[in-house]
């Protein structure tokens, strides 16, 4: 028998999903029902999400990545097309552009919001540009008024990577309830989980039908026995077990996000005028109108006197019983992207933020005292 050291028992992870007993019982019911893959639970989940987004059609998928890729396919993006996005994101965003045969074009981020810099975006548009893929990093929306104005001016589709932005708002309107196509992820780290999964908000019934075809081998069924395949689809459907988890989470989403907001506010209060901030550690933009506080990320002033390296910083946090993580290394510096001609110096803000960013613990079951403990451990390193 092994003994768990005390420090491990108290370890504060950087995130952890909150799943209630009602949901767990609901999952057991689905498992006993005899129908465990895509079926009635998915229909209920799609309907509940659609209701949240003002009645717009919503289709579920087995990951946020699949959701994004199908969004591009429904928009008709393919070989020869350029799609503009940010290099400060999870690599899924640009991988799916390559997966549909299109070319990712990166534009650096605005260091204040850490989202795509809209002052630079228009200069990246060429005659081959077909779509914009903004990412609402850490749940802070990109300026939707400006972005959609640019899209309209140039006749471009928009597939929002809102993987992190469920429940976030732009000027009082919820992300997903307006705009072109909006893609969410329900990975366990996100503000709402279905274990794995995602959902796409579409414009009309025709797009929804096309999304359904791409989701399952391109199949259209008619009558009791009819079947045809007229496009190449894949295998991206969500199981009913997963949909039941998502359904169980949805009534709690607003409470989850409210709790995250309180914790984020406490982070700002505790960091204020502390050693880390005085040493040049950057806090996120304090946006309490729009963000869903998916993450709380600080940026270390790497290379400046008195600043630890990021591995040293993260290791010291770990030794204090605190989990941290990195979201994200700049996508354009990965080998696959270097092979496509990207390299150092192309997106300086992304490179600086990517080198120094650290995600601190932020999840619904965290206590106020946990925040205080995290901030004390950060300040102690400066
Ligand atoms: C999580 C995430 C994805 C992908 O979602 P999965 O469900 O993990 O496939 C895409 N983009 C961003 C910005 C994400 O955070």
The closest-lying atom of ligand 1 relative to the alpha carbon of residue 197 is 7
Return d(Cα 336, Cα 264) in angstroms, integer. 35
Residue 94's alpha-carbon distances to 53, 134, 378, in angstroms, are 26, 11, 32
pLDDT mean over 266-280: 97
Return d(Cα 144, Cα 196) in angstroms, integer. 27
Sorted by where each starts, the structural domains of the chain and their CATH numbers stand as: 21-249 (3.40.640.10), 253-379 (3.90.1150.10)
The closest-lying atom of ligand 1 relative to the alpha carbon of residue 67 is 9
Q: Render pLDDT for 334-349 as a digit per residue (tens, 0 to 9).
A: 999 999 999 999 999 9
CB environment 171-180: b (16+ within 10 A), e (fewer): eeebbbebbb
Work out the pLDDT band at 100, boundaries 50, 70, 90.
Answer: very high
Give ligand 1 pocket residues (Cβ under 6 A). 63-65, 89-90, 92-93, 135, 161, 163-164, 185, 187, 198
Top mutation candidate among 141, 185, 193, 238 for ligand 1, by most atoms within 8 Å of CB? 185
Short-list 187, 128, 125, 127, CA closest to 161: 187
Catalytic residues: 190
Q: Render pLDDT for 24-70 as a digit per residue (tens, 0 to 9).
A: 999 999 999 999 999 999 999 999 999 999 999 999 999 999 999 99
| pLDDT at residue 8 in the model | 45
Q: Token pair for residue 224? A: 């009791």
The closest-lying atom of ligand 1 relative to the alpha carbon of residue 198 is 7
| pLDDT at residue 6 in the model | 46
Q: 32 C-alpha vs ligand 1 centroid, how far in Å? A: 31
Q: 65 C-alpha vs ligand 1 centroid, how far in Å? A: 6
Q: 92 C-alpha vs ligand 1 centroid, how far in Å? A: 6
Helical residues (DSSP H) of the chain, grouped into ranges: 6-9, 21-33, 40-52, 64-74, 92-99, 118-121, 144-154, 205-215, 240-249, 253-271, 275-278, 310-319, 335-338, 348-356, 368-379
Short-list 191, 182, 192, 186, CA closest to 162: 182
Residues 37/240, Cβ–Cβ less than 8 Å? yes
């Amino acid at each position: 028998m092994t003994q768990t050291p005390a420090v491990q028992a108290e370890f504060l992870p950087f995130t952890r999903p909150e799943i209630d007993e009602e949901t767990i019982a609901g999952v057991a019911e689905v498992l006993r029902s005899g129908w465990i893959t895509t079926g009635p639970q998915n229909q209920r989940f799609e309907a509940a999400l659609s209701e949240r987004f003002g009645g717009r059609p919503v289709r579920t998928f087995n990951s946020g990545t699949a959701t994004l890729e199908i969004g591009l396919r429904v928009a008709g993006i393919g070989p020869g097309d350029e799609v503009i996005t940010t290099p400060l994101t999870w690599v899924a965003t640009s991988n799916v552009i390559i997966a549909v045969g299109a070319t990712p074009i990166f534009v650096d981020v605005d260091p204040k919001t850490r989202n795509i810099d809209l002052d630079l975006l228009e200069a990246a548009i060429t005659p081959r540009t077909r779509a914009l893929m903004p990412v609402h990093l850490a749940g802070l929306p990109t300026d939707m008024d400006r972005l959609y104005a640019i899209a309209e001016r140039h006749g471009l589709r928009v597939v929002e990577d809102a993987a992190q932005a469920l429940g976030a708002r732009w000027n009082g309107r919820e992300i997903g309830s307006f705009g072109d196509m909006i893609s969410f992820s329900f990975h366990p780290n996100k503000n709402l989980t279905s274990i794995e999964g995602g959902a796409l908000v579409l414009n009309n019934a025709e797009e929804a039908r096309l999304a359904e075809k791409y989701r399952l081998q391109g199949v259209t069924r008619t009558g009791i026995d009819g079947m045809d395949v007229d496009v190449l689809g894949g295998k991206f459907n969500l199981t009913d077990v997963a949909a039941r988890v998502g359904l169980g989470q949805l009534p709690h989403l607003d409470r989850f996000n409210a709790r995250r907001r309180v914790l984020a506010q406490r982070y700002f209060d505790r960091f204020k005028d502390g050693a880390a901030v005085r040493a040049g550690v950057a806090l996120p933009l304090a946006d309490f109108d729009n963000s869903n506080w998916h993450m709380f990320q600080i940026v270390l002033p790497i290379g400046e006197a008195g600043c630890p390296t990021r591995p040293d910083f993260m290791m010291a946090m770990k030794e204090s019983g605190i989990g941290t993580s990195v979201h994200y290394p700049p996508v354009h510096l990965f080998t696959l992207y270097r092979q496509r001609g990207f390299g150092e110096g192309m997106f300086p803000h992304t490179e600086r933020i990517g080198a120094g960013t650290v995600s601190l613990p932020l999840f619904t079951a965290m206590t106020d005292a946990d925040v205080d403990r995290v901030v004390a451990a950060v300040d102690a390193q400066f």
